[in-house]
Structure 1
Amino acid sequence: MKKILVTGADGQLGAAIKALAANYNEFEFLFTDIQELDLTNQAAVAMFVETEKPAYIINCAAYTAVDIAEKEADLARLINTKVPAYLGKVGQKHQARVIHVSTDYVFDGTSYTPYTENDLVNPESVYGKSKLNGEIALLKEAPSSLVIRTSWLYSIHGKNFLKTMVKLGEERDKLRVVCDQVGTPTYADDLAEVILTIISKTENKLCDWKPGIYHYSNEGVCSWYDFAKAIHELAGISCHVHPIATEEYPTPAARPPYSVLNKSKIKRIFGVQIPYWRDSLKKCITELKK
């Protein structure tokens, strides 16, 4: 039975993969977070992979505190740039295929049409730069890897915009939310399903493993304001959400004003179905209410 190593297993995406693992019983899963495996320790990573011999490594570990990264640049680079390189190096040595998760923050957001994998990257934050350099470092060490860029990730686990809006919406009468940053929310469960589907289809010879960069988010487009309104509507929360401009809500890290991702490549090559963002949001809120 082939093994799949999942790093960052306590985060949003890792937890989503953990919840789906029982549906993929042809694999043995190795779920690790900092307690089980310190990814910043190159020797520990090498020893773990050499001992366990996973066929696949799904790297869900990341430094995602976008604003704090502006002050903690070294830590962001260690986790987002050096760790993917370590995983790529040891994966290449032991024939383990790496799937690494990246971000829409590799773009500056000046486009007005959905970004393809071939579009020019130009990150404007420490976080975005550290993630882009992680992609480059991984593919240099292990050209057989997959990089999946995603956007606006949320789930019932961890800290995210959905849970913040539910909490604040229940506590306050009014909220101010940015309306001029446009992208697509991504339900972590959907991304987890796609990653496991790609591995399963590859193993069952239903598709070829084609390395490189891919984009994945849910279908459709919205602003953070639209997202907040939809969350409150579906959660049955009556709170007045007031739209504001980015300049009215300054943050240490620059956000891409437009970061819609074109998903045609991942759909074409791996034959995946992608749900509409509101449909997935409804599912997540139903889970959250349980």
Structure 2
Amino acid sequence: MRIVVTGCSGQLARSLVERSRERADTEVVTVGRPYLDLTRAETILPTIERCRPDLVISAAAYTAVDQAEAEPELAFAVNATGAGAVSEAAACLGLPVIHVSTDYVFDGSKEGAYVEDDPPAPLSVYGATKLAGEKAVAAANPRHLILRTAWVYSPFGKNFVKTMLRLAENREEVQVVADQWGNPSSALDIAEAVLEVAARMIQATDDSVFGVYHLVGTGVTNRADLARHVLAVSRTRGGPWALVRDVTTAEFPTPARRPANSSLSTARFSATFGCVMPAWQHSVETAVERLLRDGRR
């Protein structure tokens, strides 16, 4: 199985490459700028075609949530138009596509976990562009899987877990919002699940597996308690630690509004593919241990 992934440096792209090395029958090829540029449609089909894949994973995105408020045209060009062009290119080559989306398509006003059929209502430019991307992907290629995930962290790139460890190196106390709830999700866990799903999609003889799914870590927490867990694990392993002080979202306003409730139900994904994501606490522990180990090296 040969998979092409748009984007080279993102958390999921790098996690897919790492996890694919553990599978003798799977090869992951990442492609990005300048060869594949989501703002230049003419680069997309030729680049994917040269890779000769069995499936395309659309992972590249404009992810600067706050900056998107000042650059809506660029965010839309990448997250909507570009994502649609990737899906269309896959369709032209007769390939299925897996597109990665976000919890930010919801406004966070629901009580309890969001399911796939809940009506989207994004609060931010970023969320609106990702929702437009979902629609473009679905319209361009009937053999699509749209995976909404949330609160992604990994040993790679920038993410909340790494930020907490970095801040704790120089501070005795960190302030973290306690009124935003969601599912911390390991990019390595997501990659493992995606590779399992990819094989099913390639072999699918009907449309029953295609559609929209939620894929996040098991369990819900708030950002402050997530920070506490990260730093508690770090402390027991001899790493940096700081006291976490709860604050409200209102005390830390940002250009882009965040949903207060980002929790997503993975029941549909589990029922369809037989895959249950690990508990977020366990995966956070694994990530922190690796980050500390790599830092000491």
* TM bracket (short chain): over 0.9
Paired AA for residue 254 in structure 2: T
Q: CA deviation at 1:49?
A: 2.6
Q: Give 1:249 shift.
A: 0.6
Deviation at 1:40, TM superposition (A): 2.2
Deviation track 1:80-132 (CA, whole Å, cap 9, x = no partner) reads: 10111101111111111110100000000000110000001000100000000
Q: How far apart are residue 77 of structure 1 and its match?
A: 0.6
Secondary structure of 2:169's match?
A: helix
3-state SS of 2:32 partner: coil
Aligned match of 1:68: 67
**Cα offset, 1:139, TM superposition:** 0.2
Instruction: Give, in whole Å, the separation in 2 of the partners of 1:95 and 1:249.
Output: 47
Match of 2:191 in 1: 192
Instruction: Give the partner amino acid of 1:92.
Output: A
Amino acid at match of 1:252: P
The aligned runs of 1:206-217 (5 Å cut-off) are: 210-217=209-216
Does 1:143 find its partner at 2:147? no
Question: Identity across aligned pairs (percent)?
Answer: 37
Contact 1:169 1:238 in 2 (8 A): yes
Letter in 1 for 2:22: N
Q: Check whether the contact 1:207–1:270 (CA below 8 A) recurs between aligned residues.
A: no
Letter in 1 for 2:264: L
Q: Residues 63 and 76 of structure 1 are in contact (CA less than 8 Å); yes or no, is this contact kept in structure 2?
A: yes
**Cα distance change, pair 238–52 in 1 and its aligned pair in 2 (3 A):** closer
Letter in 2 for 1:270: F
Counterparts of 1:96 and 1:203 in 2: how far apart (Å)?
A: 8
Residues 138-161 of structure 1: per-residue CA shift (max 9 Å, x gap): 101112110000000011100111
Q: Which residue of 1 aligns with 2:281?
A: 278
Is the 8 Å Cα contact of residues 104 and 126 (structure 2) preserved in structure 1? Answer: yes
Match status 1:257 vs 2:260: yes
Alignment TM-score, normalising by the size of structure 2: 0.93
Find out whether 1:266 has 2:265 as its counterpart.
no
Distance 2:42 2:192 in 1: 31
2:236 is the alignment partner of 1:233? no
Task: Kindly provide the CA deviation profile for residues 202-257 of structure 1, in whole angstroms up to 9, marking residues without a partner as x.
Answer: 45679986111000110111000001111100111331111011100100000000
Q: Report the alpha carbon displacement of residue 78 of structure 1 after superposing the two structures with TM.
A: 0.9
Q: Distance in 1 between matches of 2:210 and 2:223?
A: 32
The one-letter code of the counterpart of 2:292 is: K
Count of residue pairs brought into register by the alignment: 289
Partner Cα distance (1:69, 1:120) in 2? 22
**Structure 2 CA distance for aligned equivalents of residues 287 and 134 of structure 1:** 34
| CA RMSD after TM alignment | 1.7
| Structure 1 gap ranges (5+) | none
Q: Which moved more, 1:201-210 or 1:82-91?
A: 201-210
What residue is the counterpart of 1:116 in the other structure?
A: 115
Q: Is the 8 A contact 1:107 1:121 kept in 2?
A: yes
CA distance in 1, matches of 2:60, 2:265: 24
Alpha carbons 2:5, 2:31 under 8 Å: kept: yes
Aligned partners of 1:207, 1:260: CA distance in 2, in Å?
30
Q: Structure 2, unaligned stretches of length 5 or more?
A: none
Which segment is superposed worse, 143-152 or 195-204? 195-204
SS of aligned partner of 1:171 = coil
1:204–1:96 CA distance, 2 compared to 1 (3 A): closer
Give me the whole-angstrom Cα distance separating, in 2, the residues matched to 1:196 and 1:33. 20
* Equivalent in the alignment of 1:11: 10
Cα gap change, 1:206/1:272 in structure 2, threshold over 3 Å: closer, same or farther? farther
Aligned to 2:167: 168
Distance 1:144 1:200, change over 3 A: closer
Q: Measure the CA separation in 2 of the matches of 1:182 and 1:226.
A: 10
Shift of 1:51: 3.0
Q: Distance in 2 between matches of 1:28 and 1:170?
A: 38
Q: Using the alignment, how far apart are the partners of 2:205 and 2:18 within structure 1?
A: 24
